[in-house]
Chains A and B, each alone.
Chain A
Amino acid sequence: MLLEVKDINVHYGKIAALKGISLQVNEGEIVSLIGANGAGKTTTLKTISGLRPLTSGQVLFNGEDISKLAGHKRVQLGIGQSPEGRGVFPGMTVQENLLMGAYTRKDDLTADLDEVYELFPRLAERKNQFGGTMSGGEQQMIAIGRALMTKPKVLLLDEPSMGLAPMLIAQIFSIIKEINKRGTTVLLVEQNAQQALKLSDRAYVLETGRVVKSAPGLDLLDDPQVRAAYLGGH
């Protein structure tokens, strides 16, 4: 098991955001967290990447407890994240944004840089444009590409489809699939449950800080409760 979250509780002040969430991600999988606003999806990702401290519970990576490790050290272990709202550095060019992803690396970057540009040809066309002047979809590409530059073993994606046109959403999801095929494990947070479930090996449904269901993605697509709550079905 690559990543394991064991019964974590996270608080914002006195408000409990996560009330004992447990989940597992195996090497090579695409795992999704779906759920409504306020379910705790983003908080779960932030806790895994170290941006949020946890009150109790454990985060295990490769069997090692990393719950107390600072966020920047988890990056070096192999946890890469494309954050909520993309978090592109607006005053850096596309290329500088991507190179920030390799901040801690001392090895040769050309191959990885080429791979990102191959996955996102749009970025290659705009290497020297400021991140802040790119469109939403392009910024999402920067955020994912930048996370890839950290050479993650597991890639955490926080709502990559947020605010994007349907065409772009399809494109982003097919790229996620491609990234996974090339050997990166993916943990995906999505409100766009339909797309996310189609793509995922397994998925967890979160409700108000708890996991209420977990099953293979396609099973959840047919689950009547999930259909009613998240897929607009009957």
Chain B
Amino acid sequence: MKGGGVTGKANPLARVGALFDGARDWWEHAKVWQRYLVYIGAIVFALILPAPWIGSFMSPGADWTSVLIYPVGTYILLAVGLNVVVGQAGLLDLGFVAFFAIGGYSVAYYGTQYGWNYWATVVFGIALAAVSGVILGAPTLRLRGDYLAIVTLGFGEIVRITANNTDEIGGARGITNVPHPPPMFGMKFLLDPAPYYYLMVAAIVLVIIFSVRLQKSRVGRAWAAIREDEDAAELMGVPTFKFKLLAFAIGAMIGGLAGGIYAGKAVFIEPNTFPFILSATILAAVVLGGAGNLPGVMLGAFVIAWLPERFREVDWLKDMLGGKDPSEFRILLFGGVLVLMMGLRPEGLLPSRRRKAELHEGTGGMGAMGAEVAGPETEASTEAVK
């Protein structure tokens, strides 16, 4: 996994990449007031983002605010959650959609069947997701790398298929008439998407603050150590198993929150709202953006959510395809963009400096996803008896 294979003139992204890297270096040395200015700027930007004049070129075909809630906002929220598991603790989770489903179903089920308050169902969904994260993690986190990925993939499917076959929660028909959130600050949650958008922004901001605080804490340091070398982390006195479980639980909670907010707007959810491909897409967003670096992960999620939608409306593509609807090819195009990106900037759009160092070292971090993979310097028989 050497990242420096493509450089210089051969790489048209090198300049953009250098720009990103420059921004990151500036950020690292920025003063506190400069940082707060950026935070405020980002929030203001998020609040004016649904403006129609922005929507007119970002999403000419569909309602821009709705696109911003799903997929864009939902993907960002999910990606920030998955980033805790994949980017911070270095655990490969291919079944993240399960927690999204658990959050969504708990809002739908307890709201329609028991008439619980929306917020109560959201909180309960988050708790339920955390518990299922621990239940999934306790036996499986002893596995590493590929094995963990397979088990989590299975878990995602188990949740979906269970929902499909449980009549109590609607089976394949799903649950309709999911209640909306109650009115807040004079905003009514009805058909107008704007209030849902602000709710989504609030949730994202909250989760980002939580995530950054974690990253800078002792917990974050332990996760970084586990991600970079699990055995060495244990030798430093880090209770690796406990911290991996914690990463799973926190990631699951954020996934559950995303599910709750999604269900609050969707009115209707069914098992196929939570397919495996969504887990894969969110993972792609995290990796594409630069796992472990929050701005990168959010950018990745935005690109992944928005590009396929935007490809529906590209006129020159329509002409090129002889009048065929480009939306039929959007996933293909999207795949092509991903392949291109990974070739030109394998460490992601906006990687952290540290992640770069991990990748260039050969075996660290995401390269091995925590698996025991022999690097250039380790002997071939790492697992063999010595």
Residues of A within 8 A of B (CB): 12, 15, 17, 37-43, 49-51, 70-73, 75-76, 80-81, 83-85, 87-92, 100-101, 103-104, 130-133, 136, 146-147, 150, 163, 209
Contact = CB atoms under 8 A, between A and B. Distances in A.
Given A40-B385, A40-B386, A150 B236 contact: yes
B11 interface: no
B221 interface: yes
Contacts of A50: 234
Interface stretch (B110-118, B207-215, B237-245, B294-302): B237-245
B354 interface: yes
A101 B236 contact: yes
B385 A133 contact: no
17 contacts: A15-B385, A38-B384, A38-B386, A43-B385, A75-B237, A83-B235, A85-B377, A89-B225, A89-B229, A90-B358, A90-B364, A90-B365, A91-B224, A132-B360, A136-B377, A147-B235, A209-B385
Interface of B: 218, 221-222, 224-225, 228-229, 231-241, 354-355, 357-358, 360-361, 364-365, 377-379, 381-386
Given A90-B364, A91-B224, A17 B385 contact: yes
Contacts of B221: 100, 103
A90 B228 contact: yes
Given A49-B235, A91-B355, A133-B361, 19 more contacts: A15-B385, A37-B381, A51-B235, A72-B238, A80-B235, A83-B235, A85-B377, A85-B379, A89-B232, A90-B228, A90-B365, A92-B354, A100-B221, A100-B233, A131-B357, A132-B357, A132-B360, A132-B361, A136-B377
Contacts of A88: 229, 232
B364 A103 contact: no
Contact of A91 (B222, B231, B239, B365): B365
Contact of B382 (A49, A85, A92, A131): A85
Contacts of B218: 103
Contact of A92 (B228, B237, B238, B386): B228
Nearest to B232: A87
Q: Would you call the interface of chain B mostly helix, strand, loop, or mixed?
A: helix
A221 B233 CA distance: 36
Interface centre among B360, B377, B384, B386 (most CB of A within 10 A): B386
A226 B236 CA distance: 35
Nearest to A81: B235
B386 to A, nearest CB: 4
A158 to B, nearest CB: 9
Contacts of A12: 383, 385
A104 B46 CA distance: 41
A62 B358 CA distance: 38
A163 B235 CA distance: 22
B386 A43 contact: yes
Contacts of B360: 90, 132-133
A10 to B, nearest CB: 9
Given A81-B235, A91-B224, A103-B222, A37 B377 contact: no
A104 B237 contact: yes
B236 to A, nearest CB: 5
Contacts of A90: 228, 357-358, 360-361, 364-365
A24 to B, nearest CB: 21
A89 B238 contact: no
A23 to B, nearest CB: 16
